Structure formats: C-alpha cells, structure tokens
Amino acid sequence: MGAVTAHGDDVDEMYEKLCRGESAIATIDKWDTGEIGTKFAGEIKAFDCGDYMNKKMARRVDPYIAYMIVAAKRALESAKVNWNDESGEHYVDKALSGCLIGSAMGGMQTFATATENLVTQGHRKMNPFCIPFAITNMGSALTAMDIGFMGPNYSIASACATGNFCILNSIMHIQNGEANLMLAGASDAAVIPIGMAGFSAAKALSTRNDDPAAASRPWDANRDGFVMGEGAGVLVLESLESALARGAPIVAEVLGGFATCDAHHMTEPRPDGVGVNFAIDKALEMTGVKAEDVNYINAHATSTPAGDMAELRVLQKKFKASGAKINSTKSLIGHLLGAASAVEAVVCIKAITSGEVHPNKNLETPDEGVDTSMLVGTTREKLDVKVALSNSFGFGGHNSAVLFAPYKPKRS
C-alpha cells in the first residue's frame, strides 16, 4: 500500500496520526485565497518526491502525477515487488502487470496555468506539456512508463468514487487472467485557486474559517459542507498464486464489490438511499458475504447536509445487528475527491492489520436519527475486523462499495 496525504507519505505514520485523532485540516498557506469563501483544506504542506522520481520530471509534472507515482512506488516497496532485476527475488512479469490509477480532476494546476498563459502571453508561450500533464490518464501512463509495466493501463474518472472504480476494474483484470498484478488507486490535487473557487461557487465547501480543524464534522447537526483534501492512494492487487509464488507479504484480501448509479441528480444523492443500498446489496451478494459478517465500515461521509444521513440510514438499517463500527476518514484529512476511496481502502486494510480503528472527529451534536452506538467515538478503538466495507460516492450519482477481509492462508 502507498499513500500521500496531508498526513505525509508514510502509510504507518499516517494511520497512527489518524488513530490519535490528529486533524490535518488547516488554513491554506501555499497561495493567497483572496475572496474565495473557504480558506482552509487538507493541504499537503510539504512534499518531496525524494528518489522516487527524476528531479527534472518532478518539477514538470502536475502535482496529481507526482503524488500518484510516489504512492505507487511506496506501494510496490511495501509489497516487496522487484521491477528492475529479472534474476532477483520478487521479480514480476511486466507483461502481466498493469496500472489502473485514476483521477477525478486530472492536472488542474497544469490546465489553469496554461489558460492563464494563453490569456496573458498568447499561444506562442504555451507549455508544450500542458495537454499531456493535464489529462486524467497520464498519471497512470507515466507510472507504467517509469516502472515498465506493460499490462492493462488506463484511468477511470468517476468523480469522488474514482478510486473504488479503479480497484474493482483491477480485480476483474486479475480474475480474467489478463494480469497477475495491478497497481490500483487514484490521485487528485485540487487544493488550488480554481478548485477551491469552483467547489465554493457550488456551495459544497464548509466555510468554518475561524476553526478549520473543526470544519469536517460528518453526521453532526452543524455540518456545513465538505473540506477539500488532496493526495493519492495506491494498492498492489495480486493474484494469490502470483503472490505466494514470489513470497509476497500478503496483508489482506479484497473480496470484491459493486457499483451503481443513482440516476437522480448531478450533485445531490438520492434521499432514499436506493442506489447506495443497491451497491452494498450487490457487493454482499457477489462476494458471498453476509451483512452480519461486516463489522467495520469506512463511510463516504463527507460532512455535507444532504449526503451524510442518506448513507447512514442505509448503514444503520443493514448493519445494526452485526455491531458494525463506522467512521469517516474525511473528518481528519478532508475529502481527497477521486483519491478519497483509494486512501480509505488503505485505511480499511490498516484497520484489519492493526486491530484498531480511528476516531470520528468533531461529532459534537449528532444529527437527528444518528445511532451513535454504531459510530467510532472520539478516541481510537480496538476492533478485530472480520470484513470491512468501504463506501464511496461521486457527483453524477456514482455509488461504489468494496469489501476487504483479513488474509487467511489455506491449510493443506
């Protein structure tokens, strides 16, 4: 697993900060927010590609690409994948290794800079890389070029559900025998003027400028919108046969999942939660998992007035009997858009391997209908995760549900 967030680029350190309840949400200090209504985010304050990228390339590419490549290489390292030495241990067949790492927004900074240059300096001053570094597939493509993976390679853009969609499609490539190993996840870097101004204009963002760390408050009666975050999350998904053959450190099993569409509204979820319920039901059906076996849920829970309760009502009805515990990673690092579900997949797996789930931040006045007994409290909690459910939904009515479980070696 690999992740780049406002809590750094080390998965273990990130998860420990989450479990301590540390908020990474603060006032934006990389640029002047001016008259934009929201002046804070889960901004990555300091980022260094280190040796993971060529220095010249690191300076040129859009931040979403840099975050992606670092997260991908971190994931490969943690999975002990050798992609350089054909005669060495843990070498993988590059023809059967692919990349499906998407982005909801692509290279927004690259495109915004190009537009400004066109307007102020004319077309002759345009950066020749502005189109390649702006399109959503280029991050996955450059990752494959860097590593040499020649298997399935493309990107998916399904708004804030992008990461889960990439995970689900990667599973299919492995199950179909088209790949032994897939890098799956997503990356986004929209904490920039056009990103913040655009979501602010849509009245989607919290405006709690006087207390940024208290702004993301899923299920709280006083929530007023989501908090923008940025970063990347990448998983190494591998067939069991391939992983065992090379002695890979298997940390969990992705059981599968499902995706549906609300067919309702561009930005608002269905109040009745039918699309969400459908996605979860089909995910359970296709994986053979019973609802009572799911005891940890990483909810989509963005801290929006409309979205939080529509999802929670479904979860409370379906999983109350199982004693499932629910939390929202977005309460601590913000909403990473397409990368949110990719990072939250990492969080689910860390919950499985650590036996701990992180707290919910800022739930002070539970909204009407919230069953707080199902929510993780204000401090970390011990939990022996049987099956973890990761929900992620996006503008356009995209719903996704992915199930993870501890890896249990089969006894011969």
pLDDT one-digit tens code per residue, 52-103: 999 999 999 999 999 999 999 999 999 999 888 777 788 899 999 999 999 9
The model's confidence at residue 410, banded by pLDDT at 50, 70 and 90, is confident
Question: Residue 4's pLDDT is what?
Answer: 99
* 3-class state of residue 236 by DSSP: strand
Asked whether this chain's domains 2-245 and 253-405 adopt the same fold, the reply is yes
CATH number of 2-245: 3.40.47.10
Give the side-chain half-sphere CA count within 13 A for 408.
Answer: 8
Mean pLDDT in residue range 247-269: 96
Question: Residue 84's pLDDT is what?
Answer: 80
Mean pLDDT in residue range 386-398: 97
pLDDT tens-digit series, residues 200-232: 999 999 999 999 999 999 999 999 999 999 999
The pLDDT mean for the chain works out to 96
Q: Where are the domains of the chain?
A: 2-245, 253-405
Tokens of 309: 């309760």
Q: Is 160 a catalytic residue?
A: yes
Look at residue 124 and tell me whether its pLDDT is greater than 60: yes
Closest CA to 385 of 344, 356, 342: 356
Q: Are 393 and 399 in contact (CB under 8 A)?
A: yes
Q: Which of 19, 49, 99, 160 is catalytic?
A: 160
Look at residue 412 and tell me whether its pLDDT is greater than 90: no
- From 114-128, 138-152, 180-194, the region with the lowest mean pLDDT: 114-128
Q: Are 185 and 402 in contact (CB under 8 A)?
A: no
pTM of the full predicted structure?
0.96
Question: Residue 411's pLDDT is what?
Answer: 52
pLDDT tens-digit series, residues 19-63: 999 999 999 999 999 999 999 999 999 999 999 999 999 999 999
Measured in whole angstroms, the distance separating CA 80 from the mean position of its chain's CA atoms is 22
Name 324's bridge partners. none
Strand blocks (E) in 278-397: 294-298, 325-327, 356-357, 381-382, 387-394
CATH number of 253-405: 3.40.47.10
What is the total residue count of the chain?
Answer: 412
Mean pLDDT in residue range 356-365: 98
- From 117-121, 291-295, 299-303, 407-411, the region with the lowest mean pLDDT: 407-411
